[in-house]
């Protein structure tokens, strides 16, 4: 039985995840930038994408990789796995499995390269997640984890948090916040250094502000919808309307700003 | 007596918020007991989670969130009232 509202919501919305509005959003752009920074080496035999979602990154990487490499995509949302299997069906070397950071269904020291694009912040148990990553990586393995940092989306958060508090009430508001694990750069280093060789860890962070229209910003709302399932149905419409009004208030000449704080945890090749 | 304890807790929480990195974009905002921590951007929802954990684990005050009014919840004064309402 699924009990994680984020996983449940991603599964429910899987069919519309790659729709035009999300695919053209700032998050899609940031995801593509992360994907394009990945360089697969010819000696990799097993490449893993944790939180593979609809399998977009896997399909792109598999299309340009050597035939000797196998790819495994993990996602806990059943319908995301269905879409990911469809998207990667032309690539026999890609396998989509039920899994997540805390439960990686692979043998110890089997992975040559592990990556994840904007999924790690949904981990439910950070220590277990990193210990699982450390377990499956080969001693000389490489890794790239891109995830949402602690100071992400400040513009929207300041405007929308009072509204969510009003409609959710304090208990649900706090519960929703606990679903995300957004780390600072220092917190990320402290966490990963507990389980992986700190001499091989490289933690980078970036702040990129994207200006867009209200409609296009709302296009990526599907990515965070899981946090709002607790809002009573009868209040949801009014809550959405208040949120749109608040975000519209951020309008500048260039558009409505949204700053993505990205943390990148990297283990380079030896 | 209760008022003094509430005042002391408020003072500790304000100092803690000033010290923490959360809300770094609003570090210049003056924090008073009745400052709305959300609308001013001093804290975000995760900042509240961190503050509640601190109140419980470091200071021994547990807040019943189901019993809390949203307006009360977003100020230091309200949080302290809620902390003492719980019979702490």
Task: Give residue B29's domain range.
Answer: 2-85
Q: Quick one: pLDDT at residue A58?
A: 98
Judged by CB atoms closer than 8 Å, whether chains meet at A171 and B65 is answered as yes
Task: Give residue A87's domain range.
Answer: 5-152+180-212+261-267
- Would you place residue A2 in the very low, low, confident or very high pLDDT band (cuts 50, 70, 90)? very low
For residue A121, which residues of chain B lie inside 8 Å, CB to CB?
none
Q: Quick one: pLDDT at residue A114?
A: 98
* H or E stretch covering A205: strand A201-212
Segment 81-140 of chain A within 8 Å of chain B by CB: none
Segment 29-58 of chain A within 8 Å of chain B by CB: none
A82 lies in some domain: yes
For residue A161, which residues of chain B lie inside 8 Å, CB to CB?
38, 44-45
Does A176 contact chain B (CB < 8 Å)?
A: yes
For residue B21, which residues of chain A lie inside 8 Å, CB to CB?
150, 184
User: Domain holding B27: CATH number?
Assistant: 1.10.1200.10
Does A65 contact chain B (CB < 8 Å)?
A: no
Judged by CB atoms closer than 8 Å, whether chains meet at B48 and A174 is answered as yes
Cross-strand pairs, A261 = A207
Judged by CB atoms closer than 8 Å, whether chains meet at A161 and B44 is answered as yes
Task: For residue A72, give both structure tokens.
Answer: 């495994």
- Would you place residue B72 in the very low, low, confident or very high pLDDT band (cuts 50, 70, 90)? confident
- List Cβ neighbours of A119 (8 Å cut-off, separation of 6 or more): A50, A51, A53, A101, A147
Does A232 contact chain B (CB < 8 Å)?
A: no
Supply the ipTM of this predicted assembly: 0.85
Count how many domains chain A has. Answer: 1
% of residues, chain A, pLDDT over 90: 84
Look over chain A and give the mean of its residue pLDDT values, rounded to a whole number: 94
- Would you place residue B88 in the very low, low, confident or very high pLDDT band (cuts 50, 70, 90)? low
* H or E stretch covering A260: strand A256-267
Residue A86 to residues A24, A95, A182, B7: CA-CA distances in angstroms? 21, 11, 31, 60
- List Cβ neighbours of A150 (8 Å cut-off, separation of 6 or more): A182, A183, A184, A187, A261, B21, B22, B46
Does B79 score more than 70 pLDDT?
yes
User: Domain holding A102: CATH number?
Assistant: 3.40.50.150
A147 lies in some domain: yes
- Would you place residue A221 in the very low, low, confident or very high pLDDT band (cuts 50, 70, 90)? confident
Count how many domains chain B has. Answer: 1
A240 lies in some domain: no
Q: Quick one: pLDDT at residue A138?
A: 97
Judged by CB atoms closer than 8 Å, whether chains meet at B38 and A161 is answered as yes
A36 lies in some domain: yes
A62 lies in some domain: yes
**What average pLDDT does this structure show over A248-269?**
96
Q: What pTM, to 2 d.p., does this model score?
A: 0.91
């Amino acid at each position: 039985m699924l009990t994680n509202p984020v996983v449940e919501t991603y599964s429910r919305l899987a069919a519309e995840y790659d729709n035009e509005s999300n695919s053209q959003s700032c998050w899609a752009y940031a995801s593509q930038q992360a994907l394009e920074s990945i360089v697969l080496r010819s000696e990799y035999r097993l490449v893993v994408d944790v939180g593979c979602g609809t399998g977009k990154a896997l399909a792109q990487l598999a299309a340009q990789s050597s035939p000797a490499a196998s790819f495994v995509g993990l996602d806990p949302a059943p319908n995301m796995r269905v879409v990911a299997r469809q998207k990667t069906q032309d690539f026999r070397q890609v396998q989509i499995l039920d899994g997540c950071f805390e439960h990686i269904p692979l043998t110890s020291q089997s992975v040559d390269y592990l990556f994840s694009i904007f999924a790690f912040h949904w981990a439910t148990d950070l220590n277990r997640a990193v210990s699982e990553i450390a377990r499956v990586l080969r001693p000389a393995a490489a890794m790239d984890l891109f995830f949402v940092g602690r100071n992400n989306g400040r513009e929207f958060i300041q405007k929308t948090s009072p509204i969510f508090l009003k409609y959710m009430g304090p208990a649900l508001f706090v519960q929703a916040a606990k679903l995300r694990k957004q780390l600072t750069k220092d917190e990320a280093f402290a966490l990963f250094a507990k389980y992986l060789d700190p001499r091989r860890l490289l933690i980078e962070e970036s702040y990129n502000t994207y200006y867009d229209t209200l409609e296009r910003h709302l296009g990526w709302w599907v990515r965070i919808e899981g946090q709002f399932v607790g809002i009573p149905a009868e209040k949801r419409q009014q809550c959405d309307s208040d949120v749109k009004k608040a975000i519209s208030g951020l309008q500048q000449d260039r558009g409505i700003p949204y700053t993505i704080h990205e943390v990148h945890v990297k283990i380079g090749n030896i | 007596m209760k008022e003094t304890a509430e005042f002391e807790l408020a003072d500790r929480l304000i100092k803690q918020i000033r010290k923490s990195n959360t809300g770094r974009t609003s570090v210049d905002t003056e924090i008073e007991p009745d400052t709305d921590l959300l609308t001013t951007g001093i804290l975000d929802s995760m900042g509240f989670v961190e503050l509640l954990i601190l109140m419980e684990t470091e200071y021994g005050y547990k807040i019943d969130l189901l019993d809390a009014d949203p307006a009360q919840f977003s100020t230091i004064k309200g949080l302290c009232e809620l902390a003492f309402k719980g019979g702490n």
